């Protein structure tokens, strides 16, 4: 793959997200080894060689954060990134926990699962600590305090450096922020929700709340949705 010329990449202006500075673009790695957290798609995503080329290109463009999750391709995404890091790649990895098959809501933030999966992610990625760890999605059947105590233990033990949260509305976000304050636990340092020209629900609440109260937001624009000229259309099958 020919690397694009990174000159003039003012698009990637540094801003503070969690413990690190990043540009305005972050590399999503949900297609490494599969497609997202759907186990039936394992083996249909980018192979290791292709994923390495994508990561090399991202670094050449000045992208410094790679986004993955413990459930992407059953963990294969984390393994591919870990292999790239061992090869000499350099980037900050942001990974997630909380999405799980076999549960009523497809989510599981049980304390013991959080502790176990953080160690598994650290092993797959080959990192001494996880710099950016996220709640992939809130668990409606689990008390927030129980989950936060597990994240706080990981932080005190040096397993994670910071905590973010994904796929939340203002009510859930406030609960996590207030609970962390009450417990004196690791705070939520950033929010990662989907936001684009197609998905705009955060404009009415989450973005305004974060601007007024913090934490910062990290919008996710899903290019994989194929809302591009000629790629798809309302009522049309994707080509």
3-state secondary structure 148-184: HHHHHHHHHCCCECCEEEECCCHHHHHHHHHHHHHHC
Amino acid 2: pLDDT: 35
Domain ranges in the chain are: 16-224
Identify whether the C-beta of residue 97 lies closer than 8 Å to the C-beta of residue 118. yes
pLDDT at 144 over 90: yes
C-alpha neighbours within 13 Å on the C-beta side of residue 232: 11
Amino acid 158: pLDDT: 97
CA 32, 36, 38, 41 torsion-angle sign: negative
Identify the band that residue 228 occupies on the pLDDT scale cut at 50, 70 and 90: very low
Q: What is the pLDDT of residues 55-67, one digit of tens each?
A: 999 999 999 899 9
Q: What is the pLDDT of residues 78-89, one digit of tens each?
A: 999 999 999 999
Dihedral (Cα; 207, 213, 218, 223), 10-degree rounding: -10
In CATH, what class is 16-224?
A: alpha beta
Question: What's the predicted TM-score (pTM) here?
Answer: 0.81
Amino acid 19: pLDDT: 54
């Amino acid at each position: 793959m020919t690397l694009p010329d990174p000159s003039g990449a003012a698009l990637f202006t540094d801003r503070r997200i969690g413990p690190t500075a990043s540009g305005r673009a972050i590399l999503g790695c949900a297609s490494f080894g599969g497609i997202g957290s759907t186990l039936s798609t394992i083996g249909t995503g980018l192979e290791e060689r292709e994923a390495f080329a994508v990561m090399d290109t991202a670094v050449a463009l000045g992208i410094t954060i790679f986004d993955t999750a413990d459930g992407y391709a059953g963990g294969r995404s984390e393994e591919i990134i870990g292999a790239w890091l061992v090869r000499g790649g350099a980037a900050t990895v942001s990974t997630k926990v909380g999405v799980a098959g076999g549960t009523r809501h497809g989510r599981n933030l049980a304390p013991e699962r959080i502790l176990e999966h953080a160690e598994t992610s650290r092993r797959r990625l080959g990192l001494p600590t996880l710099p950016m760890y996220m709640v992939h999605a809130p668990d409606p059947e689990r008390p927030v305090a129980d989950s936060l105590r597990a994240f706080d233990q990981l932080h005190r033990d040096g397993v994670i450096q910071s905590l973010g949260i994904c796929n939340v509305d203002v009510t859930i976000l406030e609960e996590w922020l207030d609970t962390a304050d009450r417990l004196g636990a690791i705070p939520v340092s950033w929010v990662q929700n989907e936001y684009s020209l197609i998905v705009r629900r955060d404009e009415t609440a989450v973005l305004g709340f974060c601007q007024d109260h913090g934490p910062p937001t990290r919008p996710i624009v899903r290019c994989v949705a194929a809302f591009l000229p000629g790629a798809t259309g309302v009522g049309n099958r994707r080509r």
